[in-house]
Chain A
Amino acid sequence: MVQLDTRTQPESAPLAPSKAARRRPRRHLLPYLLLIPAVLLELLIHIVPMLVGIGISFLHLTQFYIANWRDAPPAGFANYRYALDFHSAAGKELLHSFFVTVVFTVIVLVISWTLGMAAAVFTQRPFPGRGIVRTIFLIPYALPVFASVITWNFMLQRDNGAVNHVLVDQLHLATGDRPFWLIGQNSFYSLVLVEVWRTWPFAFLMLTAGMQSITQDLYEAAGLDGAGVWGQLRSVTLPMLRPVNRVLLLVLFLWTFNDFTTPFTLFGKGAPRQADLISMHIYQNSFVTWNFGTGSAMSVLLLLFLLVITGAYLRIANRGADDA
């Protein structure tokens, strides 16, 4: 592994101090010029479509208007009321899907982080074969999602899948019928399993990267203080990994919460109710029932939720960082 100088510049360092005064005008223009391509792309692909999407959420954009969507009648907050009316089926389903997604995200986050952390600690010190083990761990992350998830789909088939072959034919664990993994209650656990399989290597990668900047001296100092394996983990590794963890948890949260490819590849267009993640639910509501107004309203609600959570998280995490 490449050893890197990871010193960071202090945030407030004065920049290009001496000659700045002489060539001020152009100096001030340069950063903006450099940003132009990025800004244009962001506007075209992210910002403008998002604003249009918010606009659509206030329209009755149903099948009667999609050919002339400019004529779609304004809906005010009707789409939001429809989505949030928890007494009707639509609101209940949205709420259900939201809770499924929250539970799913929390479980996946905890397991993925734990596995990633364990793997990173286990491979922190050199031993014969470490390079191979690290490579193996990264394979699930490197595989294209659609290729690996379709393999899981094959493995989770009831009659001819590998999972039931192990559980039923080889270990004789099932009492009675072969269990289903892609429909019914178990589909939720299948989704968790596949998602954990895909994400823990990323946690491993980030944590391994973070551990490379922890110098051996710190462990030796802790060792002299009598700290064992656990003690070193608690007093050195975890505190030093705090900045990495701050980012890692947020990134994992956003990816898992918004994940569409995994459920879509695993279950196809209609996910089982028990594994109805919010992104699939909204897809279903917009594209399958042709009501883009309500679909957009649900997306906006989701975006608001994510903004609040992320904002709160960053505030708390940064305060924690300042205290540290």
Chain B
Amino acid sequence: MREPTWFKWTRAVGLLLLSLFALVPVWVMVTSALKPLADVQDRFTWFPSHVSTRPFVDMWDTIPLADYFMNSIIVSTIASIASVVVALLAAYALSRYRFRGRQTFSVVVLSTQMFPGILFLLPLYVLFVNLGSATGIELYGTRTGLIVTYMTFTLPFAIWMLAGYLDSVPRDLDEAAKVDGCGPLGAFVRVVIPAAIPGIVAVLIYAFMTAWGEVLFASVLTDDSTRTLAVGLRGYATQNNVYWNQIMAAALTVSVPVVVGFLVLQRYLVAGMTAGSVK
């Protein structure tokens, strides 16, 4: 297909501008992280006056960044894996069976996406604490509580996306497996899951990113020892000095794992979304 010249030019300019828009904050983050403190306390400059790696050393001492990092990794990893497991089971049921309550379940779960978080923040907190004193299962202030919360946050989207994806996995495959002597779940584990890998990876990324970046609930449901990065990073602002270079270094450091993971796996996300959204 030939493209007219004007389109090529528009495309070139458009892509350039959009790339700039996307990248300027990244540039600021990276260069500022390499600046000495004096640079970030005066007029902005696009380049450091001299490259300093001090911020990357000092940032670990100003706040207990390593602890926050560990908490975020544990919470996000377990929450995203658990969310995928639960969502996969539910999605399989929705995709392969017609049963009473199917419609209700889908509607209710999807509509929870609409809930303003603020509405159930306090009740959830009270519930966690009361569960703790009634059953001994500590949810408030523990990573478990945060994990359970985050995995539920991502469930609606995860179930919806995986159900769409499973719908796109030809049913002949399960039937073939069943003919080979597998039960319905045998078919699920051996045939459907492998075929749904792109969708699963997509949901994993989504769930991990959600958990990694959540602020509101983390600020109320965690304590000193379980604080996550999203909340802990605010600690830099409560110092005697606003260490912008350290803040940028920390922001960069906590972003790298997520961004790299995302970019490496993005093709799965696109593939997963195609299946989910065309439904």
Contact = CB atoms under 8 A, between A and B. Distances in A.
Direct A–B touching, Cβ under 8 Å: yes
A139 B23 contact: yes
Given A4-B275, A53-B120, A144-B230, A219 B112 contact: no
Contacts of B230: 144-146
A6 B168 contact: yes
Given A42-B108, A142-B263, A303-B114, A248 B216 contact: no
Interface stretch (B37-45, B47-55, B59-67): B37-45
A137 interface: yes
Contact of A8 (B46, B96, B155, B167): B167
Interface in B1-49: 1, 3-4, 7, 11, 14-15, 18-19, 21-26, 28-29, 32, 40-46
Contact of B184 (A30, A139, A169): A30
**B interface, over-half SS:** helix
B171 interface: yes
B116 interface: yes
A184 to B, nearest CB: 20
A158 to B, nearest CB: 11
A27 B89 CA distance: 15
Contacts, number: 310
A272 interface: no
Given A154-B32, A160-B41, A264-B215, A279 B116 contact: yes
Contacts of A219: 1
A258 B254 contact: no
A197 B21 contact: yes
A292 B122 CA distance: 8
Nearest to A143: B255
Contacts of A1: 267, 270-271
B263 A243 contact: no
Q: 10 closest Cβ contacts across the A-B interface?
A: A299-B119, A49-B120, A52-B123, A45-B152, A142-B262, A31-B93, A147-B251, A49-B123, A34-B93, A165-B44
Interface of B: 1, 3-4, 7, 11, 14-15, 18-19, 21-26, 28-29, 32, 40-46, 85-87, 89-90, 92-94, 96-99, 101-102, 105, 108-109, 111-120, 122-124, 126-127, 148-149, 151-153, 155, 159, 167-168, 170-171, 178, 184-185, 198, 209, 212-216, 229-230, 233, 244, 247-248, 251-252, 254-255, 258-259, 262-263, 266-271, 273-275, 277-279
5 contacts: A15-B96, A31-B94, A41-B152, A142-B262, A295-B118
Given A125-B3, A145-B213, A147-B233, 15 more contacts: A5-B168, A6-B168, A32-B93, A35-B93, A38-B87, A50-B112, A56-B122, A122-B14, A136-B23, A140-B25, A146-B233, A258-B114, A260-B215, A264-B215, A286-B122
